[in-house]
Amino acid sequence: MPTQNLAEAAAALAAGTTTSRHLVEACLASINDLEGQGARAFVRVYADQARASADAIDALRQANRAPGPFAGIPISVKDLFDVEGEATPAGSVILAEAPAAAATAPAIQRLLAAGLILIGRTNMTEFAFSGVGLNPHYGTPLSPWDRATGHIPGGSSSGAAVSVADLMALGAVGTDTGGSCRIPAALSGIAGFKPTARRVPLQGALPLAPTLDSVGPLARTAACCATLDAIMGGEPDRILRRAVLPGLRLLLPTNIAFANLDTPTEAALDRAVGRLDDAGVLIERARLAAFDEINEAHAKGGFAAAEAYAWHRDLLASDFARYDPRVASRILAGADMSAADYFALVQARRRIIRRFEADLAPYDALMLPTVPIAPPPIAAFARDEDYRRLNFLLLRNPSAINFLDGCAISLPCHPSGAPPAGLMLAAPAMADARLLSIAIAVETVLQHERLN
C-alpha cells in the first residue's frame, strides 16, 4: 500500500503517481493476505464492483472529470447500512435473507457521489449492541495488537476498525450509539469520530437507539475522519484550520472517567497529557457534574435497551433462538422500563445537557480516556459476568457523550510497541468543526509521542 491516509492518497491520485485501480488492488490484497482477518473483518467484499468503479474513476480523472479530490479511494461500510439491491443483515443471521434495500443510505450515497469506492461490508456486533465486538455468527476480527494471543477489536464497528488498521480500506463508515466508532478505534490504534447526531443523516441505517445513534467515520488520522465526516454531513467544501495549541483550554474530569485505568492505558495517557502540557495546552482538572447525573438518570434504565426492545420485540418473539444470547439479553432488559420512567429519562437528559454545556463553556474541549483498558483477550469474555463487567468498562466513557448529545473523537496515544490506547476529545452539540480542528492539532503531538 503506497499510502495510508486520505490526503496522501488524494495527492498521489492528482499527481498521477498512483491510480484508483492500484489502491483498490492493494486493499483487496490486504483482505486476502492477512491470515483470515479479511474474512473476519468483512461479511461481503465488492471485488469486481470495486475494480470496475476504480477503472471508471481513473478514466474520468484522465479526462479531468473526476467527481472530487477523493474520488477513487476505497472505503468500507458497516453491515447495518442499506445498499441498494442488498439485504441489510446488521451482523445477524436473522436478517441475512430479508428483502433487499430499495435505496442506498443517504450518508453512503454522498460518499459514492464524491467518487469514493465501497470495498466491502464490514462485520460488527450483532445489531450493534455491544462495545466488545464479538460475533458468534461470522467470527470476530482481532485487534491488530498481539494477534498471536487474540484480543477483542471493540464494537460494535469491529470490522470497520480492523479494515482501516490493516489497510484493507483507507477509511470506514460506522455508527456510534454508545461508543461504537470510538471504542474499536481506540482498541485498534486508529482514529474514530462521533459527530453531533443530527448532522449526518441516519436514514438507511438499521437503528439501535434512535435517541443516541449517530453515523461516523473511522480512519488513520483525525484529518481523514474530518474529510469523511464533511462529505457525509453534506459539507464537502468545509475547510478546517488546525487549532493553535498554546493557550488551548481542556477540561480533564476527575470523576468517573479516569476510574479503573489499567497500567498501560494510564501510562499512555499520562505521557500524552504531559506532552500536551509541554506544548502549551492549559489542562484543568475538575469534577464534571454531568457524569454523576447521567448515572443517577439511568437508575431505572437507559435509552439503548428500551428503544432497542421497541424495534426488536416482534423479531425476538419469532426468532429468539437465532440471536446472539448476550445481545438478546441486553435487548430484553428494555422490556422492564415503563413509559413514565422513559419520559422521566427524556426530561432528565435535557436538564443534564444544559448543565454540561454550561460547565464546558469556559473550555475548548473535554479530554478523557476513550476506554480505561487495553484490549482484553477474547478468552477473558468466556463467562457472562466477565462479559458484562468488561462491556460496561468499554462503554462507560464514550456513552456519556452520546447521552450528552455531544461530538467526540478518539485519537491513538500509545507509544510505539505498547498496547493501543485512545485519548478522547469531546465537545457539546454542533461544535464538530472546532473539535476536529483541535483534534488535528493534538494529533501532531500524539503522533510524535507514539514515535518516541
Residue whose grid cell is 439503548: 304
pLDDT > 50? residue 452 = no
Residue whose grid cell is 459476568: 385
Residue whose grid cell is 486520505: 6
| Residues 6 or more apart in contact with residue 410 via CB below 8 angstroms | 181, 182, 183, 185, 186, 191, 192, 193, 370, 398, 422, 423, 424
Residue whose grid cell is 499520562: 270
Average pLDDT, the chain: 96
Phi-psi region of 139 (alpha: psi -120 to 50; beta: other; left: phi over 0): left
pTM for this one? Answer: 0.97
Q: Where are the domains of the chain?
A: 1-288+366-452
Residue whose grid cell is 467470527: 139
pLDDT > 60? residue 2 = no
pLDDT 10s digits, 258-288: 999 999 999 999 999 999 999 999 999 999 9
Question: What integer is the mean pLDDT of 315-336?
Answer: 97
User: How far is Cα 204 from Cα 133, in angstroms, rounded to an integer?
Assistant: 22
User: Would you mind telling me the total number of residues written for the chain in this entry?
Assistant: 452
pLDDT > 80? residue 3 = no
Residue 11, C-alpha cell as written in the block: 495527492
Question: What integer is the mean pLDDT of 305-332?
Answer: 98
pLDDT > 50? residue 451 = no
Please state whether beta strands 215-219 and 171-175 pair in parallel, antiparallel, or not at all (unpaired). antiparallel
Our CA angle for 68, 431, 225, nearest 5°, is 40
- Residues known to be catalytic: 78, 156, 180
| Residues 6 or more apart in contact with residue 222 via CB below 8 angstroms | 191, 193, 409, 411, 436, 439, 440, 442, 443
Quick check: 55 and 24 in contact, CB under 8 A?
A: no
Question: What integer is the mean pLDDT of 2-7?
Answer: 78
| Residues 6 or more apart in contact with residue 72 via CB below 8 angstroms | 13, 19, 20, 23, 53, 54, 57, 58, 61, 66, 115, 116, 117
- pLDDT band for 316, please (50, 70, 90 cuts): very high
* Helix (H), strand (E) counts: the chain: 15, 11
pLDDT 10s digits, 55-104: 999 999 999 999 999 999 999 999 999 999 999 999 999 999 999 999 99
Question: What integer is the mean pLDDT of 414-428?
Answer: 96
DSSP one-letter code for 34:
S
User: What values do phi and psi take at 30, rounded to 5?
Assistant: -65, -40
What local confidence, expressed as pLDDT, does residue 37 receive?
A: 80
**How many C-beta neighbours within 10 Å does residue 85 have?**
10
What local confidence, expressed as pLDDT, does residue 200 receive?
A: 98
Provide the CB-side half-sphere exposure for 181 (13 A, CA). Answer: 35
Residue 308, C-alpha cell as written in the block: 432497542
| Residues 6 or more apart in contact with residue 257 via CB below 8 angstroms | 288, 291, 368, 369, 396, 397, 400
Give the neighbor-by-neighbor strand order of the sheet with 42-45: 42-45, 117-122, 74-78, 171-175, 215-219, 191-194, 407-412, 422-427, 365-369, 249-253, 282-286
Quick check: 54 and 72 in contact, CB under 8 A?
A: yes
What local confidence, expressed as pLDDT, does residue 4 receive?
A: 79
What dotted CATH number matches 1-288+366-452? 3.90.1300.10
What local confidence, expressed as pLDDT, does residue 266 receive?
A: 98
What local confidence, expressed as pLDDT, does residue 35 receive?
A: 62
Question: What integer is the mean pLDDT of 434-450?
Answer: 88
Which residue from 414, 437, 424 is spatially nearest to 193, judged by alpha carbons?
424
Quick check: 167 and 23 in contact, CB under 8 A?
A: no
Helix extents (H) in 248-297? 263-278, 289-297
> What 3-state DSSP class applies to 107?
helix
pLDDT > 90? residue 16 = yes
Which residue from 216, 235, 174 is spatially nearest to 433, judged by alpha carbons?
235
Residue 225, C-alpha cell as written in the block: 475522519
pLDDT 10s digits, 373-418: 999 999 999 999 999 999 999 999 999 999 999 999 999 999 999 9
- pLDDT band for 436, please (50, 70, 90 cuts): very high
H or E element in which residue 230 lies: helix 222-232
Burial of residue 434 (CB within 10 Å: 0-12, 13-18, 19+) is middle
User: How far is Cα 156 from Cα 179, in angstroms, rounded to an integer?
Assistant: 8
Please state whether beta strands 117-122 and 74-78 pair in parallel, antiparallel, or not at all (unpaired). parallel
User: What values do phi and psi take at 281, rounded to 5?
Assistant: -75, 135
Which residue from 418, 436, 416, 417 is spatially nearest to 426, judged by alpha carbons?
436
pLDDT 10s digits, 131-182: 999 999 999 999 999 999 999 999 999 999 999 999 999 999 999 999 999 9
Burial of residue 417 (CB within 10 Å: 0-12, 13-18, 19+) is exposed
